[in-house]
Amino acid sequence: MADTSQRSFRIFRFNPETDDKPYYQTYEIEVESWWTVLDALNEIKWFVDGTLSYRRSCRHGICGSCAMMINGLNDLACEKQIKLIRRNPITIDPLPGFEIHKDLAVDMDPFYKALKRVKPWLINNDPPPSRERIQSPEQFHLIGDGIACILCAACTSSCPSYWSDEEYLGPAALLKAYRYSFDSRDQGLGDRIDALDNRHGLWRCHKITNCFHACPKNLNPTEAISRLQRRVIEEKT
Amino acid sequence: MIHRHDVIIIGAGLAGSRAAVEIGKVADVAVLSKVYPSRSHSGAAQGGVAASLGNISVTDRWEFHMFDTVKGSDYLGDQDAIELMVREAPETVIEMEHWGCPFSRTEEGKIAQRKFGGHTLEFGREAALRACYSADFTGHVLLHTLHEQCLKHNVNFYSEFQVLSLIFRDGRAIGVVAWDMVHGGLHTFYGRAVMFGTGGYGRAFKITSNAHANTGDGLALVSRIGLPIQDMEFVQFHPTGLYKSGILVTEGARGEGGHLKNSEGRRFMEDYAPTLMELAPRDMVARAMQQEIDEGRGIDGEDKIHLDVSHLGEQRLMERLPQITELAMNFAGVDPRVEPIPIQPTAHYSMGGIPANENTRVTMDANRTEAVGLYAAGECSCISVHGANRLGTNSLLEALLFGRRAGKQIVEDVHDLEFPNLPPDYEDAARGEIEFIRNNRGGEKVGTLRGELQDSMMIDCGVFRTKEQLQKQKEKVAELADRFRHIQIDDNGDQFNTDLLEAIELGHLLDFSGAIVEGALLREESRGGHYRKDFPKRDDDKFLRHTLAWKRNGDWELTFEKEVVLKGVSHPGFEPKERKY
Ligand SMILES: Cc1cc2nc3c(=O)[nH]c(=O)nc-3n(C[C@H](O)[C@H](O)[C@H](O)COP(=O)(O)OP(=O)(O)OC[C@H]3O[C@@H](n4cnc5c(N)ncnc54)[C@H](O)[C@@H]3O)c2cc1C
Ligand code: FES
């Protein structure tokens, strides 16, 4: 027999087309013991209220679509097991710091634009060899955190520095800048420095470490930012 | 609104993005994707991408890779396209490395390579280390690297635009009509060339490893304007999907020594493949599991089998299979260090698709007549390099490599292709569909119809198939298509209306599921991913042929006239033999 329980979900609702202001709507549903928060949202959308909007795709924590705030903390809905959440109702809000498209779907354009400002691609002007460039396992591990990022924006959206400065690159973009600038094959720090070395860049970070706590992949953008700061200082001296 | 670009690409997975990088350097290209590009399903691939680099298996050669792919395809793959793929694989992967893709490394700093099922040296003699990988997120790093190359080359992205229809007249592609998911509204995109890279159709099945977005849209769009789709009955079921969610547990779990057990606690693979045991090919293991379940030996009498890795010890699990441990805990709520993981076969890969040739030009009939200005690559296409069954790590390769070929071909063709004129009724099909769904008041819900489709496809068109089941399923799909005429959605707005878009996707699923079922019904043999209990043998006399399916006046018409290419471009080809491991 399916092992089920009754849970309530108190969900942020806002449709800029029709609503003057946001409100919460509570849904009581029966959940199966193996469900994640995303399964519950799907149940609500498919069988209770089709007007609820949110993003999702892979439903196993790799595409980064479903980041949202669950009981006050940014997380991936598809990775959050309901049975591990004690509090009832479970309150769900959109990622803070972004405009709302509708309900839990926010406008991520500023986030992607910040990413592009750091030139997130390998910069190396030497002609490539006929085979792969050589990189040691240690050099590969050095950029490990940066390459595992799924761009869910949980970090940037949790950052008070980002809330107060919408021009700030934010931890995700800086982690990306780290990932390329510390790649043994890259020569592009000079090209990225304009974007990094200013008050909307590396120096806006105050080491609050919310990003580190918010990251569903357990990555550490704060540490990457510190290393990148040191590197930029070295580059200039 | 009308947008004009030289080239329109639909899909930003590996296939679409790879083509866009190529084209973006020289022409004006637009990429439309219903999810932000880096959220495409390619990012979910864990295992690796195949190329005979020989970094560890030093004697590896493309001929061995070709043999494995042909045999894996159960001889239904077109050997000319396969030869091109395996020959160009090393340069395709190396190029990704040059663009900064972070691959795991050998001690000497070369791209690391690992074993994967069905890949061998010297025509089956021993396992080859051929899969180039990056820890257990190979697809993720390939996808991000490509997306970043697109940013570098200023490719125009239209993210969260869902394509609803293909504009096609007199054998010539003109453009597409899409819905702006964020703000609502129709947008028409037209250009000299149109390419599809829309991914697979796993979402036709209840238990699947595929993302919610994998609703096979490209197949429905192409068949709606009168073009055929090919080999749809071939669906790969992966043996180890997590029970109920279908989320993939990688082949590595068995590779590292995991055991499969039935309700009696017995390693039942000894009855099916006594030498290879759990390491037999995917389709064979999936069938063995399904048979155990069907005969009542599923765990607790349910549709599940146990995958036990607890005997490997905590240290080995954490070192070799970290993601499995996390997945099992997050999605099945079990701790694999101390308890078995409940699993069941999961619909994983779509071998069928839009027929295209090795230059990725879409073909329209059994003679392979080319459409003008229309291209397809990646999982949505059927070129056909996987035939009846795809080998693991060959599909990331396919998406990258034929995306690259598509890009190069389009760059070559684009100057000869004039800008077409939009016909007066260019928007009608898309507008009609939107209006129908929004205004209809029939009381049928998307969730209900989709659930019934996925459940029934799983049961009656799944791992095992029989004539009776398939006939029943044919009627079921027809019934659901009929009920779809009474569809009713809750959300009538423009802004981020995913209710509307899920209804449209359901329409697609219902469309091409008919082709899957009819193909399975008419193909009275067992080959690769398609297994008929009533025809358990392969029948090369009748069915060493591709299936083409046309939707005409609401019904599917199928032929088996399209021949399989049994010769390579330069290689004499591998003669069909019994596929034994
Ligand atoms: C869990 C899992 C693990 C896998 N592991 C491996 C592996 O280790 N090795 C391997 O070789 N293969 C693997 N595969 C298979 C492989 O990942 C896929 O075959 C491949 O990535 C497909 O790439 P693609 O570019 O064709 O499509 P996708 O990456 O699926 O991209 C499809 C694109 O089309 C867009 N799209 C679709 N419909 C529309 C529409 N109507 N309008 C606008 N845009 C649309 C989507 O937004 C998306 O951008 C795995 C698959 C799964 C499910
Ligand atoms: S749905 Fe992909 S990360 Fe949650």
A213 lines ligand 2 (CB under 6 A): no
- Compute, in angstroms, the gap from residue B250 CA to the centroid of ligand 1: 16
Q: Which ligand is nearest to the CA of B398?
A: 1
CB pairs under 8 A between A and B: 165
Residue A56 beta carbon below 6 angstroms from any ligand 2 atom? yes
SS3 content of chain B, % helix, strand, coil (to 5): 35, 25, 40
B126 in helix, strand or coil? Answer: strand
Quick one: pLDDT at residue A191? Answer: 95
Q: Token pair 């890795």 is at which residue?
A: B309
Q: Do A137 and B109 touch (CB under 8 A)?
A: yes
CB A45 within 8 A of CB B450: no
> Residue B515 maps to which CATH number?
1.20.58.100
The alpha-helical segments, DSSP class H, found in A52-142 are 109-117, 137-142
Structure tokens at A178: 């780290």
- pLDDT for B217: 97
Residue of A nearest to B301 (CA): A1
Residue B461's φ and ψ, nearest 5 degrees, are: -140, 35
The b/e string for B354-393 (b: 16+ C-beta within 10 A; e otherwise) is bbbbbbbbbbbebeeebbbbbbbbbbbbbbbbbbbbbbbb
Chain mean position to CA B314: 34
Contact, B137 vs B42, CB < 8 A?
no
Rounded to the nearest angstrom, the minimum Cα separation between A209 and chain B is 24
Residue of chain B nearest A44, judged by CA positions:
B447
Q: Are A15 and B493 a contacting pair at CB < 8 A?
A: yes
Chain B residues with beta carbon closer than 8 angstroms to that of A115? 151
Q: ipTM of the assembly?
A: 0.97
Residue B264 structural domain: 235-348
What is the separation, in whole angstroms, between the first and last Cα of chain B? 56
Instruction: Answer yes or no: are the C-beta atoms of B410 and B375 closer than 8 Å.
Output: yes
Locate tokens 């991913």: which residue?
A: B529
The DSSP bridge partners found for residue B370 are B363
Chain A nearest-CA distance from B170, in A, is: 36
* Closest atom of ligand 1 to CA, residue B395: 11
Name the B residues in 443-472 with CB < 8 Å from any A CB: 445-448, 450-451
The domain total for chain B is: 2
Domain boundary among B332, B348, B364: B348
pLDDT score at A3: 83
Question: What is the separation of C-alpha B447 from the centre of its chain, rounded to a whole number of angstroms?
Answer: 23
Can you give the pTM of this predicted structure? 0.97
pLDDT value at position A2?
61
* Cβ proximity of A88 and A71 under 8 Å: no
Distance from CA of A60 to the nearest CA of B (A): 7
Amino acid (1-letter code) at residue B228: P
B/e letters for B488-508, b = 16+ CB within 10 Å, e = fewer, are: bbebebbbbbbbbbbbbbbbb
Calculated CA dihedral for residues A81, A83, A84, A90, nearest 10 degrees? 80
Taking CA atoms only, the protein residue closest to ligand 2 atom 1 is: A59
| A chain contacts of residue B152, beta-carbon cutoff 8 Å | 119, 121
Domain boundary among B304, B333, B348: B348
B185 CA from centroid of ligand 1 (Å): 26
Which of B305, B245, B432 has its CA nearest to residue A60? Answer: B245
CB atoms within 10 A of CB A135: 21
Q: Which of B348, B383, B418 is the last residue of a domain?
A: B348
Cβ contact (<8 Å) for A51 and B499?
Answer: yes
Query: For chain A, which ranges sit under pLDDT 50?
Result: 1
B300 touches chain A (CB under 8 A): no
Q: Cβ contact (<8 Å) for A59 and B151?
A: no
Q: Is the CB of A78 under 6 A from ligand 2?
A: yes
In whole angstroms, give the CA distance from residue B47 to residue B50.
Answer: 10
Residue A41 Cβ < 6 Å to ligand 2: no
Among candidates A18, A105, A121 on the partner chain, residue whose Cβ is nearest the Cβ of B100:
A121
B506 lines ligand 1 (CB under 6 A): no
Instruction: Say yes or no: A125 contacts chain B, CB-CB below 8 A.
Output: no
Residue-level pLDDT, tens digit, chain B, 581 residues = 999 999 999 999 999 999 999 999 999 999 999 999 999 999 999 889 999 999 999 999 999 999 999 999 999 999 999 999 999 999 999 999 999 999 999 999 999 999 888 899 999 999 999 999 998 899 999 999 999 999 999 899 999 999 999 999 999 999 999 999 999 999 999 999 999 999 999 999 999 999 999 999 999 999 999 999 999 999 999 999 999 999 999 887 888 889 999 999 999 999 998 888 888 888 889 999 999 999 999 999 999 999 999 998 888 888 777 778 888 988 888 899 999 999 999 999 999 999 999 999 999 999 999 999 999 999 999 999 999 999 999 999 999 999 999 999 999 999 999 999 999 999 999 999 999 999 999 999 999 999 999 999 999 999 999 999 999 999 999 999 999 999 999 999 999 999 999 999 999 999 999 999 999 999 999 999 999 999 999 999 999 999 999 999 989 999 999 999 999 999 999 999 988 87
Ligand 2 mean position to B197 CA, how many Å? Answer: 21
For residue B286, tell me if it sits in a domain.
yes
Q: What does B357-374 look like in DSSP terms, one character per residue?
A: -TT-EEE-STT-PEEEEE
Residue A1's pLDDT is what?
Answer: 43
**A36, A65, A81, A217, best to mutate for ligand 2 pocket (most atoms within 8 Å of CB):** A65
In a domain, B72, yes or no: no
Residue B535 belongs to some domain of the structure? yes
Compute the distance from residue A225 Cα to the ligand 2 centre, in Å: 26
**β partners of residue B355:** B382
In a domain, B7, yes or no: no
Pairwise CB contact (< 8 Å): A60 & B109 = no
Contacts of A55 (CB under 8 A, 6+ apart): A65, A66, A104, A105, B35
Chain A contact for B581, CB < 8 A?
no
| pLDDT score at B117 | 86
Task: Kindly give the interhelix angle for B394-413 and B14-24, rounded to the nearest 10 degrees.
Answer: 30
Residue B179 pLDDT: 98
Domain annotation covers residue B179? no
Residue contact B39–A120, C-beta within 8 A: no
Of the partner residues A46, A120, A128, the one whose CB lies closest to the CB of residue B98: A128
Measured CA to CA, the distance from residue B546 to residue B549 in angstroms comes to 10
- The pLDDT tens digits for B105-159 are 999 999 999 988 889 999 999 999 999 999 889 999 999 999 999 999 989 999 9
**Chain-centroid distance, C-alpha A88:** 25
For helices B498-522 and B446-460, what crossing angle results, to 10°? 20
Three-class DSSP category at B563: strand
Give the residue from B331, B339, B440, B494 with the most A CB atoms within 10 Å of its CB, the best one to mutate. Answer: B331
Task: Classify the C-alpha dihedral B124-B129-B132-B137 as positive or negative.
Answer: positive
CB within 8 Å of B439: residues ≥ 6 apart: none
Residue B243 DSSP one-character state: T
Round to whole Å and give the CA distance between B276 and B551.
42
Count of CB atoms situated within 10 Å of the CB of B486: 12
Burial of B315 (0-12, 13-18, 19+ CB in 10 A): exposed
Chain A within 8 Å of B274 (Cβ-Cβ)?
no
Question: To test ligand 1's pocket by mutation, which of B143, B248, B396 has the most ligand atoms within 8 angstroms of CB?
Answer: B396
Chain B residues lying within 8 Å of A105, measured CB to CB: 496
B contacts of A79 (beta carbons < 8 Å): 330
Q: Is residue B254 part of a domain?
A: yes
Amino acid B275: pLDDT: 80
Cis peptide bond prior to B384, omega within 30° of 0: yes
**Shortest Cα–Cα distance, B91 to chain A (Å):** 8
Same domain, B432 and B536: yes
A60 CB neighbours in chain B (<8 A) are 44, 245, 247-248, 327, 330-331
Q: Is residue B261 part of a domain?
A: yes
Q: What is the pLDDT of residue A173?
A: 98
Which chain A residue is nearest to residue B103, measuring alpha carbons?
A140
**A59/B105 touch (CB, cutoff 8 Å), yes or no:** no
**CB of A142 within 8 Å of any CB in chain B?**
no
Q: What distance in Å separates the CA atoms of residue B558 and residue B561, rounded to the nearest whole number? A: 9
Give the domains, in start order, of chain A with CATH numbers.
4-106 (3.10.20.30), 109-236 (1.10.1060.10)
Instruction: Report the catalytic residues of B.
Output: 282
Could A57 and B98 be called an inter-chain contact, meaning their C-beta atoms sit closer than 8 Å? no
Q: Which two tokens stand for residue B455?
A: 């459940």
Place of tokens 């959308």: A45
B211 to each of A154, B276, B348, how far by Cα in Å? Answer: 21, 31, 10
Question: Which pair of tokens denotes residue B84?
Answer: 């091109």
The phi, psi pair for B196, rounded to 5°, reads -100, 130
- Please, which residues bridge with residue B259 across strands? B308
CATH of the domain at B341: 3.90.700.10
* Ligand 2 proximity of A217 Cβ (cutoff 6 Å): no
User: What is the H or E stretch that residue B347 is in?
Assistant: strand B341-350
Q: What is the distance in A from the centroid of ligand 1 to the CA of A107? A: 24
User: What long-range pairs does A42-48 form, CB within 8 A, spacing at least 24?
Assistant: A44/A9, A44/A11, A45/B447, A45/B498, A45/B499, A46/B445, A46/B446, A46/B447, A46/B450, A46/B451, A47/B445, A47/B447, A47/B448
Asked if A72 reaches chain B (Cβ–Cβ under 8 Å), the answer is no
B580 in a structural domain: no
CB contact under 8 A, B151 and A121: yes
A17 close contact with B: CB closer than 8 A: yes
How far is Cα A53 from Cα A45, in angstroms, rounded to an integer? 8
**A145-154 confidence digits (pLDDT tens):** 899 999 999 9
CA-based nearest residue to B20, from B48, B40, B1: B40
